[in-house]
Amino acid sequence: MSRGGAVAADSYNARMESSAPSLYQRYLPWRRSVEIGFWVASYLVGAIANSITVNMDGRRLGLGFTAWQPAVWESSSALAALVLVPAVVWFTRRYPLHPDNWRRVLPAHLLGSLAWSALHVIGMVAVRKAIYASQGQHYDFGVWWWEFGYEYLKDIRSYAGVVLTIEGYRFVMRRLQGEASLLSAPDEGPPVEPLERPERFLIRKLGREFLIAADDIEWLQASGNYVNLRVRGHDYPLRSTIAGIEARLDPERFVRVQRSYIVNLDEVASIEPLDTGDARVHMKDGANLPCSRTYRGGQKQRFGTDA
**Burial class (CB within 10 angstroms; exposed 0-12, middle 13-18, buried 19+) of 186:** exposed
pLDDT given at position 16: 42
d(CA 108, CA 63): 40
Tell me which range, 56-60, 134-138, 274-278, is most confidently predicted by mean pLDDT: 134-138
* b/e map 191-217, b = 16+ CB within 10 Å: eeeeeeebebbbbbbeeebbbbebebb
User: For residue range 88-117, what is the model confidence (pLDDT) as tens digits?
Assistant: 999 998 888 888 778 889 999 999 999 999
Looking at the domain covering 189-303, what would its CATH class be? mainly beta
d(CA 304, CA 302): 5
In angstroms and rounded to an integer, the radius of gyration of the C-alpha atoms of the chain is 25
- 271 beta partners: 281
**Burial class (CB within 10 angstroms; exposed 0-12, middle 13-18, buried 19+) of 49:** exposed
User: For residue range 225-240, what is the model confidence (pLDDT) as tens digits?
Assistant: 889 999 988 889 988 8
Q: Rounded mean pLDDT of the chain?
A: 84
d(CA 1, CA 191): 16
d(CA 195, CA 182): 8
pLDDT given at position 100: 73
User: For residue range 124-155, what is the model confidence (pLDDT) as tens digits?
Assistant: 999 999 999 999 999 999 899 999 999 999 99
pLDDT given at position 8: 39
CB 162 within 8 A of CB 85: yes
On the question of pLDDT at 71 being above 70, the answer is yes
* b/e map 2-12, b = 16+ CB within 10 Å: ebeebeebbee
Cβ neighbours of residue 115 under 8 Å, at least 6 residues apart? none
- The residues spanned by each domain of the chain are 23-177, 189-303
Strand order in the sheet with 200-205: 208-213, 200-205, 179-182, 234-239, 226-231, 219-223, 261-264, 254-258
The pTM (predicted TM-score) of the whole model is: 0.71
